[in-house]
Amino acid sequence: MKLPIFFKNRMTEFSLSVIFVIGFLALVLTSNGVFLSRASLQGFLTYLAVPIAIGLAQMVVLCIGQMNLAVGTMGGVSCAIMAVLMADHNLPIWLAIFIGLFSATAMGAINGALVVLTQLNGFIITLGTYTILLGFQYRLVKTFTIDKYPSSLPEFGKRNILGFPYILVVAIITAILLSLFFSRTIIGRRVLATGGNPLAARLSGVSNNRSIFIAHTLSGLLIGVASVITIASLPGINRSIGGDWLLASFAAPIIGGVLMSGGTIAIYGTVIAAGVVRLVDIARAQYSLDPSIVSLSVGVVTLSTVALSEWRRRRTERQNEGMKELI
């Protein structure tokens, strides 16, 4: 009775893991080992950190049935703030990082507050803040690339323990803390309850407004983490940062098994999904694929992954098959 439930709820994660392993091995074999070289793994893992962080940032908002369209510009702005503070006002790194994290969190909090106050749907609010922040990002960095800050930060981005880049470790730890937050703390559970059934949550003494506020704020914090990782892994900061975050932030959690209707989280799923997508980048470089081919294959990979998991799920859920949902 226990085991099946365990699997039933983790089918997507499971099949994603399978796909990841297969893809990984395929790359190792076809690159006759090059992929296992320190440099390759380094690169692979380093740029895995950001997709994970922004995926989680989107996930926490998805779990209350809303979206955060501002992930990109929130990240862009907090990166810009950190860069400017360090480069132009030569603040110490730790302080800049703190302010970066704080500002991102604040932006999230503002999103949350606006959603609660105006009772407008989060989609519109974050679209609004997205636009506003786009403006601020330009104000902060104009069209230049800022990199006149202590090189110890980019160097930190390149350092690693046993081949694991620090910044990936940061991302993973964040993920673990997040899963503890959702599984073990009352606040976490309440946020999920709101996502699962707001009316019921309310009648059970949960304040949905608080949950919404918390979810958006948390999303901000996670974006802050993503920004720190970004600034540590890039040669500099300019207004293009965050430009490609939006779809990535949705892709990871949703491929990872999170429902857009809210109430679910899938932290491991998000992480592994980010990994699968990252494998495609590697393949692109490895086989010098044409980007159009890459896009095509990303499309196909995504589809097949989910189709497979769906097929597995339905096979295992026969016993108490519910209504076939078309979400």
Number of residues this chain uses to bind other proteins (CB under 8 A): 120
- Rounded CA-CA distance 80/72 in Å is 12
Q: Does 144 bind other proteins (CB under 8 A)?
A: yes
The residue with tokens 């400017």 is 84
Restricted to residues 59-118, the positions that interact with other proteins (CB under 8 A) are 69, 114, 117-118
Q: Does 3 bind other proteins (CB under 8 A)?
A: no
Phi-psi region of 30 (alpha: psi -120 to 50; beta: other; left: phi over 0): alpha
- The residue (of 173 and 314) whose beta carbon lies closer to other proteins is 314
- Segment interacting with other proteins (CB under 8 A) among 81-89, 133-141, 162-170, 211-219: 133-141
Q: Does 216 bind other proteins (CB under 8 A)?
A: no
Among 90, 95, 135, 176, interactor with other proteins by CB under 8 A: 135
Q: Does 150 bind other proteins (CB under 8 A)?
A: no
The DSSP bridge partners found for residue 164 are: 161
Restricted to residues 162-201, the positions that interact with other proteins (CB under 8 A) are 180, 183-186, 189, 192-193, 195-197, 199-201
Contact (Cβ atoms closer than 8 angstroms) between residue 11 and residue 316: yes
Assigned token pair, 66: 């809303």
Among 251, 252, 272, 276, interactor with other proteins by CB under 8 A: 251
Sign of the CA dihedral with 137 first, then 139, 141, and 144 last: positive
- Segment interacting with other proteins (CB under 8 A) among 94-102, 167-175, 213-221, 258-266: 258-266
Q: Does 295 bind other proteins (CB under 8 A)?
A: yes
Q: How far is the CB of 107 from other proteins (least distance, A)?
A: 12
Contact (Cβ atoms closer than 8 angstroms) between residue 227 and residue 54: no
Interior angle at CA 157, CA 26 and CA 22, nearest 5: 10
Q: Does 213 bind other proteins (CB under 8 A)?
A: no
Q: Output phi, psi for 165, to 5 deg.
A: -55, 140
In 3D space, the residue among 254, 231, 274 whose CA is nearest the CA of residue 103 turns out to be 231
- The residue (of 152 and 183) whose beta carbon lies closer to other proteins is 183
Among 158, 159, 176, 177, interactor with other proteins by CB under 8 A: 158
In 3D space, the residue among 162, 192, 182, 169 whose CA is nearest the CA of residue 271 turns out to be 169
Composition of the chain by helix, strand, coil, percent to 5: 75, 0, 25
**Which helix (H) or strand (E) segment is 89 a member of?**
none
Among 105, 174, 211, 264, interactor with other proteins by CB under 8 A: 264
Restricted to residues 26-55, the positions that interact with other proteins (CB under 8 A) are 31, 34-35, 37, 39-40, 42-44, 46-47, 50
Among 21, 22, 124, 176, interactor with other proteins by CB under 8 A: 124
